């Protein structure tokens, strides 16, 4: 069972997982809801082909299912401060939203006054509306437009601003295929004194061709060596792959020094498939379910 109220310790990496669910996939989430623990975090991405009403409807649906909605906000796609404020206030009032995730967004030219995610944080809209947690992106495999020094500086600045405003930062990474790269990044993160909870992005089980397509769309590295690290043979592009090897290597490499780490699933192969994979993995690993609150 997926349970996310608080991220778990590194030794129990599958105890706390979150899911990223498109607004159009709410029926699939509802169908799988009985297998997901009450209070689990459901992240709602900000997609260009969906408007704010669709995002708010999705947040309400997540809340009504007994989960914690975490809508994304794409800075460069927001046209005005009034739009940002209205969305956040309605999300809190109508869907009980306590958590948001902020990103810069893909457009090179902002639609309004916000050039990056930090500019959203600086408005003060989130804390005034009652938001308790603000998620920000982590990039273990690099960033398409920022060098390493800039990436660290930006991450530190955002986390510091969130804390200063009385909220809790979460760091959520893009999905990756090489656990060793993620472990190295986590070590560097902690060595810089950034101790906030991290949710490591993991692709849910899906066809290899589907994974390759999403990797290309999201700018995720997927060279032959990384496919191999993930347990995929280049000659088997028509097969299906799960994150077993990735999660095994990540869990085995984590120590107390890595701090609070959990998993964030991108269910590219379907929500039911990801939820089923998590249950099977935990059963295989021998994790108990004591204390988990099952839904009726």
pTM listed for this prediction: 0.86
What are the tokens at 36? Answer: 């997901």
Q: Check whether 293 has a pLDDT greater than 90.
A: no
Q: Check whether 76 has a pLDDT greater than 90.
A: yes
The pLDDT value recorded for residue 224 is 52
8 A C-beta contact, residue 203 and residue 243: yes
Q: What is the pLDDT of residues 91-141, one digit of tens each?
A: 999 999 999 999 999 888 999 999 999 999 999 999 999 999 999 999 998
Count Cα neighbours of 112 within 13 Å in the Cβ-side half-sphere: 16
In which band, very low, low, confident or very high, does the pLDDT at 295 lie, cut at 50, 70 and 90? Answer: very low
Question: What is the pLDDT averaged over residues 1-20?
Answer: 62
8 A C-beta contact, residue 254 and residue 182: no
Q: What is the pLDDT of residues 188-197, one digit of tens each?
A: 999 999 999 9
The pLDDT value recorded for residue 218 is 60
Q: 175 versus 52: which is more confidently predicted? A: 52
The pLDDT value recorded for residue 241 is 66
In which band, very low, low, confident or very high, does the pLDDT at 291 lie, cut at 50, 70 and 90? Answer: very low
Q: Please state, in angstroms and rounded to a whole number, the distance separating the CA atoms of residues 100 and 82.
A: 17
8 A C-beta contact, residue 38 and residue 65: no
The pLDDT value recorded for residue 233 is 53
The pLDDT value recorded for residue 162 is 98
Q: Please state, in angstroms and rounded to a whole number, the distance separating the CA atoms of residues 60 and 71.
A: 11
What domains lie within the chain, and their CATH numbers?
10-285 (3.20.20.220)
Q: What is the pLDDT of residues 155-189, one digit of tens each?
A: 999 999 999 999 999 999 988 888 999 999 999 99
Residues above pLDDT 90, as percent of the chain: 65
Q: 294 versus 119: which is more confidently predicted? A: 119
**Which residues have CB under 8 Å from 283's CB, separation 6+?**
none
Q: Check whether 292 has a pLDDT greater than 60.
A: no
Q: Check whether 232 has a pLDDT greater than 70.
A: no
Hey, is 158 helix, strand or coil?
Answer: helix
E-only strand ranges, the chain: 17-20, 41-44, 68-74, 99-103, 133-138, 168-175, 198-203, 206-207, 240-241, 261-266
In which band, very low, low, confident or very high, does the pLDDT at 8 lie, cut at 50, 70 and 90? Answer: very low
Q: Check whether 237 has a pLDDT greater than 70.
A: no
The pLDDT value recorded for residue 289 is 40
């Amino acid at each position: 069972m997926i349970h996310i109220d608080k991220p778990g310790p590194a030794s129990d990496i599958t105890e706390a997982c979150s899911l990223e669910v498109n607004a159009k996939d709410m029926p699939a989430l509802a169908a799988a809801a009985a297998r997901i623990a009450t209070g689990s975090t459901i992240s709602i991405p900000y997609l260009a082909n969906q408007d704010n009403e669709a995002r708010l409807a999705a947040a309400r649906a997540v809340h009504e299912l007994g989960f914690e909605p975490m809508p994304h906000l794409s800075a460069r796609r927001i046209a005005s401060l009034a739009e940002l404020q209205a969305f956040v206030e309605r999300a809190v009032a109508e869907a009980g939203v306590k958590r948001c995730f902020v990103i810069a967004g893909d457009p090179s030219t902002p639609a309004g006054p916000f050039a990056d995610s930090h500019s959203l944080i600086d408005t003060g809209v989130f804390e005034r509306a009652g938001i308790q947690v603000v998620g920000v992106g982590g990039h273990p495999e690099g960033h398409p437009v920022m060098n390493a020094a800039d990436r660290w500086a930006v991450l530190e600045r955002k986390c510091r601003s969130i804390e200063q405003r009385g909220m809790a930062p979460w760091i959520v990474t893009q999905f990756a295929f090489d656990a060793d790269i993620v472990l190295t990044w986590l070590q560097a993160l902690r060595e810089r004194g950034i101790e906030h909870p991290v949710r490591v992005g993991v692709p849910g089980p899906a066809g290899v061709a589907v994974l390759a397509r999403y990797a290309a769309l999201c700018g995720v590295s997927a060279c032959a060596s990384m496919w191999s690290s993930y347990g995929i043979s280049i000659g088997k592009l028509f097969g299906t792959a799960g994150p077993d090897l990735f999660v095994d290597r990540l869990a085995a490499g984590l120590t107390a020094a890595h701090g609070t780490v959990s998993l964030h699933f991108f269910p590219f192969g379907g929500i039911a498939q990801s939820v089923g994979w998590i249950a099977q993995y935990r059963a295989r690993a021998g994790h108990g379910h004591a204390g988990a609150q099952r839904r009726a």
